[in-house]
Amino acid sequence: MEPEKTEFDDYAESYTELHRNSIAASGEDPSFFSAFKADYVANSVKPSASGAQLHILDFGCGIGNSTSHLREAFPDAKLFGADPSSESIRIARERAIKDVEFVITSDSGLLYKDGSFDVVFVACVFHHIAPAKRLFWMRELRRVTKSCGHIYIFEHNMLNPLTVKAVKDCPFDEHAILLPSTELMTLAKSAGFTVPKIRYVIFFPRMLAFLRPFEKLLVKIPFGAQYVLQAMA
């Protein structure tokens, strides 16, 4: 049986260009944001004390834009990408990213065993999930995260006017419903994740890039373009 067609199947081929156009005001290319997220996680995750290979899930991987940067940030990890868009997964597979397995997800959940991953990475996915389904998917992510494993969920900050404009101008965000950091925090706690914390990121556009070294001092100020929830299983 072929997977059901999704909204993102229609945007898979043009995804990067549409994204580039919607964030033009930032002065950056989509790859900047993908690399930032991957590097953020890499700088937060400690190597396994046993030296075991890390298993990392890119949930909602789309065409693999973040996955390729995760590969650069974690050269020795085993990567997995999951997304409901079969067309996006087709394109991701064609990129032939080293040592990564891409799968198409279904409404019934993830096709992985309990405790499969050391790190779960989610880049701007939850605002595309219907509010009524968000807790279900958060619980699925908790289920497949190893005990003492980590989750990193990046989301658009609805308190940032430039972010809100970018979402409004982006065709594939037409049906997006942004969520406040408090909602994401509640979802994580309800699903069983522990010690969750919110950090705000990406404050300055490219024209003010010289100020970016100071962003690490602003992580608790809720005006960054995006925020990240970090938690443990």
- The residue-averaged pLDDT of 8-28 equals 83
Q: Specify the 3-state DSSP secondary structure of 139.
A: helix
Contacts of 120 (CB under 8 A, 6+ apart): 56, 57, 59, 141, 144, 145, 149, 150, 151, 152
* Position 104 in a domain: yes
Strands in 226-232's sheet, in edge-to-edge order, are 100-104, 78-83, 55-59, 117-123, 145-156, 226-232, 194-201
Q: Could you tell me if residue 17 is inside a domain?
A: yes
With a threshold of 0.85, does the pTM exceed it? yes
- Is residue 4 scored above 70 in pLDDT? no
169, part of any domain:
yes
- Under the banding of pLDDT at 50, 70 and 90, the label for residue 51 is confident
Residue 2 lies in a domain: no
Q: How far apart are CA 2 and CA 59, in angstroms?
A: 21
CATH of the domain at 85: 3.40.50.150
pLDDT score of 24: 84
Tokens representing 190 are 């309800």
Coil/strand/helix, residue 120? strand
Q: What pLDDT score does 1 carry? A: 46
Domain count, the chain: 1
Residue with the two structure tokens 């406040």: 180
Distance of alpha carbon 205 from its chain centroid, rounded?
20
In a domain, 1, yes or no: no
Residue 14 lies in a domain: yes
**pLDDT for position 20:** 87
Any idea what the Cα angle at residue 186 is, between residues 159 and 46, rounded to 5°?
Answer: 90
Asked if residue 165 is part of any domain, the answer here is yes
- Spatial separation of the C-alpha atoms in residues 37 and 202, rounded to whole Å: 10
Return d(Cα 39, Cα 25) in angstroms, integer: 23
CA gap 80, 71 in Å, rounded:
10
Tokens of 231: 């938690």
pLDDT at 16 over 90: no
- Identify the bridge partners of residue 81 per DSSP, sorted by sequence position: 58, 102
Q: Write the DSSP symbol of residue 112.
A: S
Q: Tens digit of pLDDT for each residue in 179-191?
A: 999 999 999 999 9
User: Whole domain around residue 213: which residue ranges?
Assistant: 7-232
Max distance between CA atoms of the chain, in angstroms, equals 52
Mean pLDDT score, 8-35? 85
